[in-house]
Amino acid sequence: MKTIIHIDDDLDDLALFQEAITRLYPAYVVASFSDSKTALSFLEETTTIPGIIFLDINMPKQNGKETLLLIRRNKKLAGVPVVMYSSTIYGADKDTYLKLGANEFLKKANTDDGMIQEIDQLLLKFLKYDINEFYNEQKNNIR
């Protein structure tokens, strides 16, 4: 079972994300964190390598840029896709984050349905093989 890491200081966004994943991909586990330091401690201590990390850019204490740098310095997490997201993302910011190792950007949608759709598209893009494996296993179990 793959784990999705979600780091965001907005508790409403954490809840919406959890709801979206549970509804769209019930086989995935979401580990949600409201601050980067707790998330990084978890990532260092766990033996599980996440399938993807969603990282809010604008957070107090330790922002997304600082957290991304620390994630990319961790050899265990080197191949894990990191999606940076925020309510505002500018072109220059995108270039900076790509150079630092981000794989994709997600602008927070204005509606819950919009956010769920965007999350779904990104998970299909980065985890499509794992998701297809899951659905094939489910089909085989039904037979």
Q: Is the pLDDT of residue 141 over 50?
A: no
CA 97/CA 93 separation, integer angstroms:
6
Give the rounded distance of the alpha carbon of 7 from its chain centre: 8
Given a contact cutoff of 8 angstroms between Cβ atoms, the answer to whether 50 and 103 are in contact is no
Q: With both helix axes pointing from N to C terminus, report the angle between 112-142 and 11-24 in degrees, rounded to the nearest 10.
A: 30
pTM, rounded to two decimals: 0.83
Q: What percent of the chain has pLDDT over 90?
A: 36
Q: Which amino acid is at 13?
A: D
- Min mean pLDDT across 20-24, 97-101, 113-117, 128-132 is at 128-132
CATH of the domain at 31: 3.40.50.2300
**56: Cβ–Cβ under 8 A, 6 or more apart, which residues?**
7, 8, 9, 10, 13, 64, 85, 86
Number of domains in the chain: 1
**Domain assignment of residue 85, given as a range:** 3-142
CA 50/CA 43 separation, integer angstroms:
9
